[in-house]
A = this chain, B = another copy of it.
C-alpha cells in the first residue's frame, strides 16, 4: 500500500495548506492531499489503478469514481457528501452528453474538500479483469499493447520553429510521460491535416509505450483487435474491444486452401508439385482473412482504422503459409520450421491494407517445434497446465491434433495426424454441425434400435412431435459429436466389436444391420437421405482416435505419471460428451468429472495475447521450456497406435470409465484391424 509522505504536506496545524485524508477502495491505498486536489490526481499519486484516455479533461469518462458516504471507523474517517466539490462544468457537460450513473462522479473534475472514501469501480480500472466462465482458469487482465492518449499540442511558432511531430512528441511526454522513439511513416502522411482538423487536439495510438502508430483528430476512445485462428479446415476472427475485452463479433469461414488439399500434407504436396503453389495458397488465405476482418468490422460497426492489433495462431503449416513462407520443409524429416519465434509484422505485410488501421500490427504466437505450432502455444496460454499441480492432458482436436501434457514441473507436447474424420469429414454421412445434423444417439442394447436428436430441436427421434419438428430442417447427416456417440453406442450395444468390426452376425436380430460388399453397415435413419454408419466410417474414426491416443500415450510414457485431468479443445471438443469420447478411447482413462470440453482454446489463447501484452512474453518464455516429442522418430508410437485401434483400447484398462459405464465383454470377430493400414496412412500423411 502506498502512502504519500505526510512531511511533504504541511498539516492544518503547522502550515498554511489544509489537507484531507483520502482512502481509495478496493485497493485500500490512502494518503493526505491538499484541499482542492482533483481525485484523479490523488489516485495517480498513490498509484491507484484508474483509467483515463483524455488525460483528465472531462472528456472520456473513464475515471468515474463512487464516493462512499458514512463513518468509516476502520479508516478513522467520516466521509461526507460535502467533502466533494460540486459538479464542475466539464462533469455537467459529460453528464448531459453521455450520461453518468447515480452516485458516480468524474475523478478528474471532482475536487477533494475534506476526508473521503472513494471507490474505484471495476470498469474504471485500467487493468480490468475479464473473468472467464470456467472457474479453474485465470481471469484475463486487460493490458493491451496499444493504448490511446488524448493530447493538446502546441501550435507552430515561426520564432521557435519545430516540426509538428516534435510538438506531438513533446505533448505526449509532458501530458502522459510517454517518450516516442519510433513513428510510422503513414502517421506523417496525415499528421498535419489531423492536427489542424482537431484544432491541435488529437488522440495518439501508442504501441508498446513508445511507438506512435496513429493520430486521430480530436478525442477518440475506441480501439479493437482481432484474435484470429487459422485452422486447416476453418478460419475464425474474433473482433474484440480492447477496452472491455468483449468479443463484439465472431465470424468464420472455410479455409480456402481446402481446394488445394483436404489435409495439411496434401497441401504441402501441392507446393512440392506446383512451383508457386505456396504463393497461391498464401494469397487465398490472406484474401479470406481480409474478407473476414471486413465482415466482422461491418457487422459490429467498427471502422477499419479502429482495428489496431491482430493476434494469429495456427498450426505450423498454416503459420508458414499465411506468412508467405514455403512450407515444403515441413513435408519431410527433420520437419524444420523457418522459425519458431513469436513474430510481429505489420498488417500491411499480410495484404490487409485498408482492412485495419494502417498502424496495425500482427502478432504471431511462437511455434513449439515441428508440427506443434502457435495453436498449441495458444492452447497452453489459455489453459495454463503449467500453473497446476495435477497432470493435465490438453488435446486440441483438429485435422492435426496438438497434444500437451504436464503440470507445473514440466510440459511435453506432440502433434498427431488425426485427419479430418473427427471433424465429420471422410465419414459417409458426415456433415458440419448445422440444423438437421444428428448430434446425440442412443441405441437400445436389446432391440438394437436407435433414437437420436438433431441440431435444431430438443426432441428425440422417438418423441411423437419429432417428425413435425424436423419437417423443415430434415435429418441430413451426422456431425462430429454425433459420429462419436453413434459409434460409442454401437460398441456399447455390441454392434461393433472391440476391434471395430460391425458384427454381421447380428443381421439376424435386426434389419438395421445390412451387408455392404464384404462388410456390414448400420442404418441409423431410414429416410431421404438414408443415414448409415459404414465399416469404412468406423475405420476412419479408429485411425483418428488411435493417432490421438498414441500421441497422448507417448507423452504419458515420457512424463512417467498418469493423467489426472483431461481438457478437450477444438471446435469438435466443445460439443462432445466426454463419456463417449472415453468409451471410444479417444482419451486415456481418468475420472470423468476431470474431463472438460473447452471449445476453441487456441482462439481464447489468441484473445489473451490480444488483450494482455505481458501474456505475450509469458508464452514466449513458456514455449522455450516445452519439450517437443516427435512422434515420427519414436519407435513406441507405432506400438501405441496399434493398441489404440481397439475400443476403448486393446490392453489398457479403463477402470474409471468402467465404474460408470458397463463396457461390453471383450469379443472379437476377426484378427486385429488396421495395423498395417494405420501405419501406412500415417506415413502418407506425414509425406
Contacts and interface: CB of A to CB of B under 8 A. Distances in A.
Contact of A192 (B164, B323, B324, B326): B326
Contacts of A628: 161
Interface string A152-180: 00001111011111100000000000000
A162 B623 CA distance: 12
A193 interface: yes
A329 interface: yes
Nearest to A337: B163
A188 B335 contact: no
Given A156-B334, A326-B193, A334-B156, A339 B161 contact: no
A158 B345 contact: no
Given A189-B325, A326-B192, A337 B164 contact: yes
Contact of A341 (B163, B333, B369, B370): B163
B323 A162 contact: no
Contact of A325 (B188, B333, B338, B343): B188
Contacts of A633: 158-159
A523 B171 CA distance: 62
A283 interface: no
A530 B164 CA distance: 51
Interface in A231-278: none
A364 to B, nearest CB: 10
A340 interface: yes
A535 to B, nearest CB: 36
A630 interface: yes
Given A188-B339, A338-B191, A161 B324 contact: no
Interface string A339-367: 11101010001000000000000000001
A166 B336 contact: no
Contacts of A339: 163-166, 183, 188, 191
A122 interface: no
Contacts of A139: none
A185 interface: yes
A663 interface: no
Contacts of A323: 185, 188
Contacts of A189: 324-326
Contact of A338 (B188, B334, B343, B370): B188
Contact of A157 (B158, B193, B334, B349): B334
A632 interface: yes
Contact of A367 (B163, B183, B191, B632): B163
A374 to B, nearest CB: 12
B164 A336 contact: yes
Interface in A314-339: 323-326, 328-329, 333-339
A185 B345 contact: yes
Q: How many copies of this kind of chain does the complex include?
A: 2
Nearest to A195: B336
Given A163-B341, A166-B339, A339-B164, A334 B185 contact: no
A50 to B, nearest CB: 33
Interface in A187-202: 188-189, 191-193
A447 B170 CA distance: 67
A323 B164 CA distance: 15
A369 B193 CA distance: 19
Contacts of A326: 189, 192-193
A627 to B, nearest CB: 10
A166 B370 contact: no
B340 A158 contact: no
Query: Of residues A338, A343, A367, A630, which shows the largest number of chain B Cβ atoms within 10 Å of its Cβ?
Result: A338
Contacts of A158: 333-335, 370, 630, 632-633
B334 A370 contact: no
Nearest to A330: B192
Nearest to A628: B161
Given A161-B334, A334-B161, A166 B630 contact: no
A369 B188 CA distance: 16
Given A188-B325, A326-B193, A338 B161 contact: no
A183 B349 CA distance: 14
Contacts of A191: 338-339
B336 A163 contact: yes
Contacts of A328: 192
Nearest to A158: B334
A621 to B, nearest CB: 15
Interface in A359-387: 367, 369-370
A301 B323 CA distance: 33
Contacts of A367: 163
Interface in A620-638: 628, 630, 632-633
Contacts of A333: 158
Contacts of A329: 164, 192
A187 to B, nearest CB: 9
A632 B158 CA distance: 9
Contact of A166 (B163, B192, B324, B340): B340
Given A158-B633, A193-B326, 12 more contacts: A158-B334, A161-B370, A164-B337, A165-B338, A165-B339, A166-B340, A166-B341, A185-B323, A188-B338, A189-B324, A192-B328, A192-B336
CB-CB nearest 3 A-B residue pairs: A161-B369, A165-B339, A156-B336
30 contacts: A156-B334, A156-B336, A158-B333, A158-B632, A158-B633, A159-B630, A161-B336, A161-B337, A161-B370, A161-B628, A161-B630, A162-B369, A163-B336, A163-B338, A163-B341, A164-B336, A164-B338, A164-B339, A165-B338, A165-B339, A166-B339, A166-B340, A185-B323, A188-B323, A188-B325, A188-B339, A191-B338, A191-B339, A192-B338, A193-B326
